Amino acid sequence: MLAIEIFSVSFFAAMILNGITLLFGCIGETITEKAGHLNLGIPGIMYMGGIGAILGAFIYEANATNFNGFLAILSAVFFCVLLSALGGGIYAVLTVSLRANQNVTGLALTTFGMGLANFLGGSLGRLAQGGSGVFVSVKRTSDAFTFFIPWLSERTGLFGELFFNSRYGFLTYVALILAVLVHFFFKKTRVGLNLKAVGENPQASDAAGINVTRYKYIAIMVGSIIAGLGGCYFVMNYLKGVWQHGALGDAGWLAVALVIFSLWRPLRSIWGALLFGALTVAYNYLHASTSQQEILKMLPYLVTIVVLIVTSLNKKREDQPPGSLGLHYFREER
């Protein structure tokens, strides 16, 4: 019944496109969690980043007389960063300075971000197509986002199709490089180690002279912007620049799940992202009825639960979440 059709180029491409989206979200959330903040607003921030990219591209396409791909990308990324930084900023102010509960703030931010994205998307759709427009398309900018290395993409046959498919776009490689960089950032740099210390024990870091508030703010902002880029990547490369209501689906929650799966390690999250990407799209490539597909869509969540249980069972110290995750830090307490 479940004949396998997953050994195809299109499956591989879909896996990469979904996986890299999650990788962006996961790297962003990892950085945030390393500072001791469980940001459940990441799904909302990814929506904001996604619509920011659409917005930037839309503004550019509407105003540009000579379409320049580079400027289109710049405009899209700029608005994406702007909106996701707005989301991260709200979260940071509320949880770091105002010491609001992280879970509540995060969930409210997700509601806010998804609402904002769908609102802007709907308004842009109406602008683009008159009264009843339900979607907005920025095809030209989306094309600019795709990346094409002349020799590698064309002449290398299956290898080129698998690894240098023009649908991936340059952001795919940016995400991979970012994962490696963040790995070294946490392992080798003083700032990275300080950040980890802040997440493990803010009291001790404060006593050691680390500016806890500044570290937390910067980590949350940077994490949010990276997660927002994931939204940009998804709408530009996977959805080919077409925004519809609820375009990103549950990608943000999967990104949060992936952080646990990867045990807060950026390198591990690369193959984790690919696995999650495969699990997310698998239902499309297995011969399953529509009802069975819904069951198959449970897979990434089930895998995450299994990982959660396994990591809590083996109790290895290096596999545990940051020590102060979810707790706010108030210097004058105790």
DSSP code for 4: B
Region from 76-84, 216-224, 231-239, 289-297 binding another protein, contact rule CB under 8 A:
289-297
Smallest distance from the beta carbon of 122 to another protein, in angstroms? 4
Question: Interaction with another protein in 41-100: which residues (CB under 8 A)?
Answer: 90, 94, 98-100
- Tell me, by CB under 8 A, how many residues bind another protein: 53
Whichever of 130 and 157 has its CB closer to another protein, that residue is 130
| β-strand pairing of 136-137 with 242-243 | antiparallel
Smallest distance from the beta carbon of 244 to another protein, in angstroms? 12
| x-marked contacts with another protein along 209-228 as a string, rule CB under 8 A | --------------------
Task: State the SS3 of 27-58.
Answer: HHHHHHHHCCCCCCCHHHHHHHHHHHHHHHHH
In the list 55, 81, 108, 182, the residue contacting another protein (rule: CB under 8 A) is 108
Whichever of 13 and 48 has its CB closer to another protein, that residue is 48
Extract the tokens encoding 249. Answer: 């689906």
- Helix locations, 148-298, DSSP H: 150-155, 157-163, 170-188, 190-200, 202-207, 212-233, 251-261, 266-285, 290-296
CA distance 331 to 328: 10
In the list 67, 119, 159, 184, the residue contacting another protein (rule: CB under 8 A) is 119
In the list 171, 175, 220, 260, the residue contacting another protein (rule: CB under 8 A) is 260
How many other C-beta atoms can be found within 10 angstroms of the C-beta atom of residue 283? Answer: 17
Region from 142-150, 157-165, 191-199, 294-302 binding another protein, contact rule CB under 8 A:
294-302
CA distance 154 to 229: 28
Place of tokens 């997660």: 227
| x-marked contacts with another protein along 122-151 as a string, rule CB under 8 A | xx----------------------------
CA distance 262 to 270: 8
Buried b (16+ CB within 10 A) or exposed e, 82-104: bbbbbbbebbbebbbeeebebee
In the list 23, 45, 109, 182, the residue contacting another protein (rule: CB under 8 A) is 109
| Site residues for another protein per CB under 8 A | 38, 40, 90, 94, 98-101, 103-105, 107-119, 121-123, 245, 250, 253, 256-257, 260, 290-292, 294-295, 297-298, 301-302, 304-305, 308-309, 312-313, 321, 326, 330, 332-333
